[in-house]
Amino acid sequence: MPNSWSLHVHISFQVGIFYEEAYAALSAPPLSQHFDRTWVSHVQLKAAQFYADACYRYSLDLHEKEEIAEEIARLKIGMSALADAKKAAKGVAAQLMDSVNKLESNMKINLERAMKENDRVYLMRVPAAGSLGALPAASLVKPTSLAEVLDASKERLFSSLVPDGSMKALSKYTEMVDNIIRIQAEKLQQASEITRVRLKEMDLPDSILSLEGSITLPVDLKEDVEAVQISGGPAGLESELQQLRDLRRVNQELLVQTEELLQKEANEDAQFRTQFGSRWTRPQSSTLTKNIQDRLNLFAANLKKAADSDSLIERGVKENYPLMSILDKRPIESALPSISRPIMSLDGNEDAIVGALKQSLRQLESLGAQRAGLEDMLKEMKRKDDILPKLMAGVGSHDDLFKKEISKYDSICAEIADNIVAQEQLLLQIQAQNEQFATVFNLEDYKAARERCYKQIAAAVAKYREIKKNINEGLNFYVTLQEAIGKIKQQCSDFIMTRNIQCREMIEDVQRKLAGFNFSSSSHSSMQRNASVLPDQSSPPPPHAQAPYAAAPGVDSRPGYSQPEPRPAYSQPYPPSYGAPPQQPPYGAPAPGQYQQPPHQPPPGHDYGQPAYPGWRGPYYNAHQQQPGPYSQPPYNAPGAYPPHQSNYYRPQ
């Protein structure tokens, strides 16, 4: 059995025993007369709950050991105990009843599973409840008898009790100590703050560090510069500008390719319309692609505006690069001015001045460390200060005792006062030394140059962020535009494929109609010639005159019709039969594939607007169903959600 389950079984069963003992005590006099029936039912149900929980946990271990028979018996015992307790439980809390019902539901599920496995696999005999041993129980604590607790022979029962007068006196003394510590802590904190402000006014120790070559930036400005350098700095702007150029070129190429696809299809449609005249009844390409062309024009205009914005960005980078180049210096502190020694020295005491100032700063730092130690000493002394035993003794006046005990803090208070006085004197000395140092090393010019450098760095950071923001906006714009143009190009490809399929079908239909008209006209002319010219029956028949049934490939014998021009090249291969008009076979015999309608060819009245693929919503042409007015627009003309971002990137700046 896992340790957690074993411990759970032991504890649950022991708690159930405790509840059973409590239930037995509450049910018998004299407690039965002093407790409400609801409490008795509550204790009874809790006893059954913990006993059933012990059975449930124990059954889980039995199931792992494949002791299914005992598992079934334990579950039945636990469920029986819960059922009996629930019958007698009246007025118990709803939370307890919910917990009991949940436990009973889990036990029921496990019991059904165990019985099913036993019936199908194990076929073991379930033992009777009386034949099972008791569950193990264990207590987490050892009970102590009441007589042992109340035994006064071992220790004083009231040794920890403090009289009321002594407690009040202790509270008063504690308040006095807290007041002393608070006043001294405020003095120490005020002295440290004065030191910090005075040193900052004198620009110390930064001026000394600058003289030694250790220059620092203000924290906020240094963080801004580090963020710029991490993102690539001004030197990395050129690569991002190149990305803008590449994306703009890709978008322009996609736009040109899409327009060329539409123009090629429109040229082919116009050529067939010229070739077949009024028989070419489908709508013109320009009518169907008007919405697409409008969107392409919009994309072209946006690209032009974006190109203008790119030019402004490139010009901004070029013009401001001298300003921003300071951000590329690593570390950035190398761009700051430093204090230089005077070129000419009259008495050569520069080193002595610097040395004296450094020594004073070290002394000031030592005083600060001493103040921190004094504050810790105060807190430690308060922690160890315990006058309660003296108060309990009750010897003498409390005021005299307080005065004597408070005097322990006088030495530390005196040290704090001496520290503050020494600091004031040292600050005056440092101020005089710093004035001499500033005069010798011309600190005013250094401070002015440093402030100018700070402002230049801040301005460079602001300009870099502005340009970086514009570049990122441009990159997002081109990526979004490329996706939109790609969708339009795909729609154009689908449109052209459908138009090619329908063009092929319409050409075949027109050629079938023309071939049928030629056959009828040729037969009628032959009958008229045979009726007007009768040959002499007695004379030998002359050679049969060949009627122009089969015209030359480049000549059409039919009046009123012109020879179609050669078919141009198309993306979709056409059948070889409609590259030129069909030739008439001799004697008007129908040519295979011309006058006989194949089963896969559409009839003359075929609807050419049938979908070329699922989801298409033509028709592009249908001679017998065309209505005056605008043609129905296919789904690719529906304007898309472009541009998705309301960006000002491609607007003139």
**44 or 211, which is more confident:** 44
What is the number of structural domains in the chain?
3
**pLDDT band, residue 317 (cuts 50/70/90):** very high
pLDDT tens sequence across 257-308: 999 999 999 999 999 889 888 888 888 888 899 999 999 999 999 999 999 9
For residue 644, pLDDT beyond 60: no
**pLDDT band, residue 522 (cuts 50/70/90):** low
Determine the pLDDT at residue 246.
96
The helix (H) or strand (E) run that includes residue 118 is none
Long-range contacts, 327-332 (Cβ 8 Å, 24+): 327/225, 327/228, 327/229, 327/233, 327/234, 327/457, 327/460, 327/461, 327/464, 328/229, 328/233, 328/234, 328/235, 330/229, 332/217, 332/222, 332/225, 332/229, 332/457
Determine the pLDDT at residue 170.
85
Q: Based on the domain organization, do 378 and 258 belong to the same domain? A: no
Determine the pLDDT at residue 632.
39
pLDDT tens sequence across 567-626: 333 333 333 333 333 333 333 333 333 333 334 444 444 444 433 333 333 333 333 333
Q: Based on the domain organization, do 514 and 563 belong to the same domain? A: yes
Of 418, 438, 458, the residue that ends a domain is: 438
**pLDDT band, residue 157 (cuts 50/70/90):** low
**110 or 3, which is more confident:** 110
- Of residues 315, 305, 311, 306, the one with CA closest to residue 247: 306
Determine the pLDDT at residue 539.
40
Q: Which CATH number do you get for residue 88?
A: 1.25.40.280
Cα–Cα distance for residue pair 151/145, rounded to 1 Å: 10
Percent of the chain at pLDDT > 90 equals 41
Residue 262, domain member (yes or no): yes
- Of residues 330, 285, 319, the one with CA closest to residue 637: 285
Averaged over 413-417, what is the pLDDT? 94
Q: Based on the domain organization, do 382 and 468 belong to the same domain? A: no
Q: Based on the domain organization, do 22 and 92 belong to the same domain? A: yes
Residue 69, domain member (yes or no): yes
pTM for this prediction: 0.48
By the 10 Å C-beta count (0-12 exposed, 13-18 middle, 19+ buried), 440 is classed as middle
Of 438, 466, 497, the residue that ends a domain is: 438
Averaged over 201-225, what is the pLDDT? 84
State which amino acid sits at residue 162.
V
Cα–Cα distance for residue pair 103/78, rounded to 1 Å: 10
Determine the pLDDT at residue 557.
37
485 vs 297, 303, 374, 652, CA distance in Å? Answer: 11, 11, 75, 22
Residue 16, domain member (yes or no): yes
Residue 397, domain member (yes or no): yes
Asked if residue 101 lies in contact with residue 109, where contact means CB atoms within 8 angstroms, the answer is: no
**pLDDT band, residue 155 (cuts 50/70/90):** low
Q: Based on the domain organization, do 468 and 356 belong to the same domain? A: no
For residue 313, pLDDT beyond 80: yes
Q: Which CATH number do you get for residue 416?
A: 1.20.120.560
pLDDT tens sequence across 28-47: 888 888 888 888 899 999 99
Q: Report the Cα 382 to chain-centroid distance in Å.
A: 53
Residue 127, domain member (yes or no): yes
Determine the pLDDT at residue 642.
46
* Site of tokens 């919503």: 617
Determine the pLDDT at residue 411.
92
Of 387, 416, 438, the residue that ends a domain is: 438
Q: Based on the domain organization, do 429 and 567 belong to the same domain? A: no
Q: Based on the domain organization, do 350 and 469 belong to the same domain? A: no
Q: Based on the domain organization, do 129 and 39 belong to the same domain? A: yes
Determine the pLDDT at residue 80.
94
Residue 145, domain member (yes or no): no
pLDDT tens sequence across 335-384: 888 777 776 565 667 888 888 999 999 999 999 999 999 999 998 998 88
Percent of the chain at pLDDT > 70 equals 74
Residue 129, domain member (yes or no): yes
Q: Based on the domain organization, do 253 and 364 belong to the same domain? A: no
Q: Based on the domain organization, do 185 and 291 belong to the same domain? A: no
Query: Average pLDDT, whole number, for the chain?
Result: 78
Averaged over 143-162, what is the pLDDT? 64
pLDDT tens sequence across 76-95: 999 999 999 988 888 888 89
Q: Which CATH number do you get for residue 567?
A: 1.20.140.50
Q: Report the Cα 355 to chain-centroid distance in Å.
A: 57
Q: Based on the domain organization, do 456 and 568 belong to the same domain? A: yes
Averaged over 412-417, what is the pLDDT? 94
> What number of other Cβ atoms are within 10 A of residue 128's Cβ?
8
Which range of residues forms the domain containing residue 100? 3-140
Determine the pLDDT at residue 549.
34
Averaged over 425-446, what is the pLDDT? 89
**pLDDT band, residue 230 (cuts 50/70/90):** very high
The DSSP code sequence of 544-574 is: PPPPTTS--TT---STT--PPPPPPP-SSPP
Determine the pLDDT at residue 601.
41
Cα–Cα distance for residue pair 466/13, rounded to 1 Å: 73
Cα–Cα distance for residue pair 254/128, rounded to 1 Å: 85
For residue 446, pLDDT beyond 80: yes
Q: Is the bond leading into 30 cis (omega within 30 degrees of zero)?
A: yes
Q: Based on the domain organization, do 116 and 255 belong to the same domain? A: no
Residue 269, domain member (yes or no): yes
